[in-house]
Chain A
């Protein structure tokens, strides 16, 4: 029980608390604060889950930092934690940038989406990654982020929750429980924040485009790339990418009009 508390419930609680403060607190009418906190909440939930599930030293091994008395293995799937760490640092910066230059918001978001996608494709090479495979990973991250950007905030969060729940199921079927619990933690956090967005006191946001779409899309795309790289035969590798891209795309096409909100 304490295991599930630490790898699923604690990340959900921390992520939801951060988002709750932004959505229901005194600064709830500042879109940049909401964007910053929701994006940060998603990244930090994944990161907390990773650190509790794997280890902090596993994350440090991915950085040019030497942990004392550490002779553990360097495993490429631990780069999931590194991606979450970078996104946690980058999301407030991106939210502030878009708030500082609203006229260039679209350009900044597009650049950030491509930068994040290319960064994951170039630097996060899971086993068997050819140049074509890396390009596919980058494309999946960019498409997932782009699809999230087309959604309203709640739709994007619901899409992320559904994508991650599906990937958690795939991970369990292919014998990768660590990825499953991290996906469940993110899905739970996204779902909880989406529910918080239903509280009448919470403000309305017309779009998830910005830090939220970049974090959500990059996390989903990276998790999909990791799952498909390590998957055994039971789940076809394309199903991971479909979950990462098709769910938010379907959300954008089917629900965005229904859940479109007024600008706060």
Chain B
């Protein structure tokens, strides 16, 4: 073995490693998915008088989702629901929900969710962490979130998500009906959030 041989080997390894380091990284810009209010809705479920499970919804969710569309990369959510869009099928009940004993829409007109991180839970499935602001109180929550599909609409690419979470409304200061009057309404609220939006961007650089 000559002295030159290890040097050559070292040079080859160095060049190879430099070559790898210098190779252009495939960086993907996330697409900005602007929510389509017609197809974005949050259903909520609450127990009434310890009996039936009552469903209502917030229509016309607004906001954006940033996502690279890669199965492992987590989306970043920024979603807003207007309290004035609460819909229970009863105008009187909708009015009551906006009153100070429930959402107090005059003081807290929106519910917002902003994601702060996520862990993968499967293919296009994540546990998304974020801050939920409801009734003027912001608390960290974890949302089970699935990308339900990527399709093509007349106006371009459509992306859909479904998110599930359960919260205790008393954690957000919405206590009426939990203890006083006792058990008039449940404390736990299950939320199913269906999102669909139009994707813009997201092409590899």
Residue of B nearest to A126 (CB): B106
Residue of B nearest to A6 (CB): B180
Complex Cα gap A52–B179 (Å):
11
Q: In the assembled complex, which residues on chain B have CB atoms less than 8 Å from the CB atom of A255?
A: none
Check if A232 sits within 8 Å of B99, measured CB to CB: yes
Q: In the assembled complex, which residues on chain A have CB atoms less than 8 Å from the CB atom of B182?
A: 2-3
Q: In the assembled complex, which residues on chain A have CB atoms less than 8 Å from the CB atom of B181?
A: 3
Residue of B nearest to A76 (CB): B107
User: Total number of A-B contacts with CB less than 8 angstroms?
Assistant: 63
Q: In the assembled complex, which residues on chain A have CB atoms less than 8 Å from the CB atom of B99?
A: 174-176, 230, 232
Check if A128 sits within 8 Å of B136, measured CB to CB: no
Complex Cα gap A174–B102 (Å):
12
**How far, in Å, is B193 (CB) from chain A's closest CB?**
22
Check if A174 sits within 8 Å of B95, measured CB to CB: yes
Q: In the assembled complex, which residues on chain A have CB atoms less than 8 Å from the CB atom of B104?
A: 73, 75, 77, 230
Check if A75 sits within 8 Å of B100, measured CB to CB: yes
Check if B98 sits within 8 Å of A232, measured CB to CB: yes
Which interface residue of A53, A74, A232 has the most chain B CB atoms within 10 A?
A232
Q: Would A75 and B95 be within 8 Å (CB), given that A7-B180, A53-B180 are in contact? A: no
Complex Cα gap A52–B181 (Å):
11
Q: Tell yes or no: A229 within 8 A of B by CB.
A: yes
Interface string of B100-139 (1 = CB under 8 A from A): 1110101110000000000000000000000000011100
On A, residues with C-beta under 8 Å from B are 2-3, 6-7, 52-53, 55, 71-77, 126-128, 174-179, 229-230, 232-234
Q: In the assembled complex, which residues on chain B have CB atoms less than 8 Å from the CB atom of A174?
A: 95, 99
Residue of B nearest to A128 (CB): B106
Check if A72 sits within 8 Å of B101, measured CB to CB: no
Check if B108 sits within 8 Å of A73, measured CB to CB: yes
Complex Cα gap A126–B107 (Å):
9
Q: Tell yes or no: B55 within 8 A of A by CB.
A: no
**How far, in Å, is B186 (CB) from chain A's closest CB?**
16
Q: In the assembled complex, which residues on chain B have CB atoms less than 8 Å from the CB atom of A233?
A: 95
Check if B100 sits within 8 Å of A176, measured CB to CB: yes
Q: Tell yes or no: B173 within 8 A of A by CB.
A: yes
**How far, in Å, is A200 (CB) from chain B's closest CB?**
40
User: Within B67-108, which residues are at the interface with A (CB < 8 Å)?
Assistant: 92, 95-102, 104, 106-108
Check if B101 sits within 8 Å of A127, measured CB to CB: no
Complex Cα gap A55–B176 (Å):
11
**How far, in Å, is B89 (CB) from chain A's closest CB?**
16
Sample of 20 further A-B pairs with CB below 8 A, known A52-B180, A73-B137:
A2-B182, A3-B180, A3-B181, A53-B180, A71-B137, A73-B135, A73-B172, A75-B100, A75-B104, A75-B173, A174-B95, A174-B99, A175-B92, A178-B101, A179-B100, A230-B106, A232-B95, A232-B98, A232-B99, A234-B95
Which interface residue of A2, A53, A127, A234 has the most chain B CB atoms within 10 A?
A127
Complex Cα gap A141–B95 (Å):
27
Q: Tell yes or no: B57 within 8 A of A by CB.
A: no
Complex Cα gap A77–B137 (Å):
16
Check if A72 sits within 8 Å of B173, measured CB to CB: yes
Residue of A nearest to B177 (CB): A177
Q: Would A72 and B137 be within 8 Å (CB), given that A55-B175, A174-B99, A176-B100 are in contact? A: yes
Q: Would A127 and B107 be within 8 Å (CB), given that A176-B99, A178-B100 are in contact? A: yes
Complex Cα gap A214–B125 (Å):
63
**How far, in Å, is A223 (CB) from chain B's closest CB?**
13
Check if A176 sits within 8 Å of B101, measured CB to CB: yes
Residue of A nearest to B95 (CB): A232
Check if A77 sits within 8 Å of B100, measured CB to CB: yes
Q: Would A175 and B136 be within 8 Å (CB), given that A2-B182, A75-B100, A75-B104 are in contact? A: no
Check if A175 sits within 8 Å of B96, measured CB to CB: yes
Complex Cα gap A177–B95 (Å):
13
Which interface residue of A52, A71, A72, A74 has the most chain B CB atoms within 10 A?
A72
**How far, in Å, is B112 (CB) from chain A's closest CB?**
14
9 A-B pairs in the complex with CB atoms less than 8 angstroms apart: A73-B135, A75-B104, A77-B104, A175-B101, A177-B101, A178-B101, A179-B100, A232-B95, A232-B99
